[in-house]
Amino acid sequence: MSTEARVVVVPQEQDQPLEIVDVTLPDPGPHQVVIRQFASGICHSQLHTIHSARQAPAVLGHESTGEIVAVGESVTDLGPGDTVMVTWVPKDQMQARRQGGFTALELPDGRVATSINVFTWATHTIADEMYVVKVPDDIDHETDSIIGCAVITGAGAVLHTAGVKQGDSVAIIGVGGVGLSAVAAAAHLGANPIIAIDLDDEKLDFAKQFGATHGLNATEVDVVEATRKLTPVTGQFDIVRQPVSGVDYAFDCIGHASTMKQVSELVRSGEFGQSKGGTAVLVGVPQTPIELDSRHMFMGERSYICSLGGSCEPSEDLPRFIEWHRNGTLDLDALVTQRYAIDDIGVAVDDLENGRVAGRSILVFD
């Protein structure tokens, strides 16, 4: 049975307004499901797609909540009526090892809009089952919609990629939706101090609601020097016998050339002959190459690693973060700061691009 949907489409031509197109979704293929959506997150990384050259129109969005209305013949663990979350990360190892395919959505005028995995800026979506996780029926239909990207990316980077432990010192560059999720995870794990770094004092104050112990405005202070002053390691010296300072883990939740370099400078040196240095973690989607000071990294035995999707396994981690929301560990009600209707997607994207979103914004569907 075909399904009528309204879908946000990015035209092939750059710098054109987003379109809202009425489409008919096809019957699901063997491994596909069709979902009536409740809400979808609006991720900053989607701006990269909007402003990049492309070979075809694109459909966007990669985190949502919804209800299944139809499933393909090979789908065994999902069924009509199930409450689900859509994410962009394969939900488990078995699904990750099945190749699947790109999304190709035929539009009424003959164009074909594509996505590398899913699209959730739509009243209804069709997706491979590998990106769809069954969740309890009583989730929050709106605020839980951001778990499938913002939360797994930020909190997962702290929990899984870095493995932060109680007492570790942490710095987080960029405290939007992903960065605030990272702050909350670090606080839950007992990190101290937790240093939030941004360009906006209001965002830095907001980060303290999620567990940041300090806020550094990069337009006002040298954040590297300020971080080192906050994190002296008593009685430890590096290879040139200078006192060790800096955080155990630093997370770049932006991915700009300047922050990708800066995050490596925030982490401490190892104690010469006794311990390794700190670890810089790239979380935000990078858009440019960078050059690192290899001597700085080498002499301090520092590490630089990357985190894609928070190193999460959604079948296990989405329920984990739902519980974090329920028990107050992660205040998604505060984190979701703006809601928009699908007809206002242009306003939503403009607000995001111009820094008018304190936490995470979402689309809410009737």
- State the chain's mean pLDDT as an integer: 96
Place of tokens 């035929």: 106
For residues 110 and 72, the answer to whether their CB atoms sit within 8 Å is: no
Q: Are residues 83 and 165 in the same domain?
A: no
Task: Let me know whether 206 and 266 are in one domain.
Answer: yes
Interatomic CA distance for residues 47 and 303, integer angstroms = 29
Residues 161 and 260 in one domain: yes
User: Minimal CA–CA distance to 178: which of 304, 51, 289, 42?
Assistant: 42
Q: Does residue 43 sit in the same domain as residue 98?
A: yes
Say yes or no: 158 and 133 in one domain: no
CATH code of 130's domain: 3.90.180.10
Residue 76 lies in a domain: yes
- What domain count does the chain have? 2
258 phi/psi in degrees, rounded to 5: -65, -40
Whether 158 and 300 map to the same domain: the answer is yes
Give me the residue label for tokens 């060790």: 244
Residue 241 structural domain: 154-309
Same structural domain, 237 and 129: no
Both 297 and 169 in a single domain?
yes
The structure's pTM equals 0.96
Q: Quick check: is 240 in a domain?
A: yes
| Whether 305 and 179 share a structural domain | yes
Considering the domain boundaries, does residue 318 fall inside one? no
Q: What average pLDDT does the segment 188-195 reach?
A: 98
Residue 191 shares a structural domain with residue 225: yes
From 82, 84, 85, 101, select the one nearest 30 (Cα to Cα): 101
Strand extents, DSSP E, the chain: 3-10, 19-25, 32-42, 58-59, 64-71, 83-86, 103-106, 112-115, 124-128, 132-134, 170-173, 194-198, 214-217, 232-237, 243-245, 249-252, 279-282, 303-306, 336-340, 360-364
Helices (H) and strands (E) in the chain, counts: 11, 20
What pLDDT, on the 0 to 100 scale, is given for residue 14?
87
pLDDT digits (tens, 9 = 90+) for 18-59: 999 999 999 999 999 999 999 999 999 999 889 989 999 999
What is the tens place of the pLDDT at every residue in 285-324? 998 999 999 999 999 999 999 999 999 999 999 999 999 9
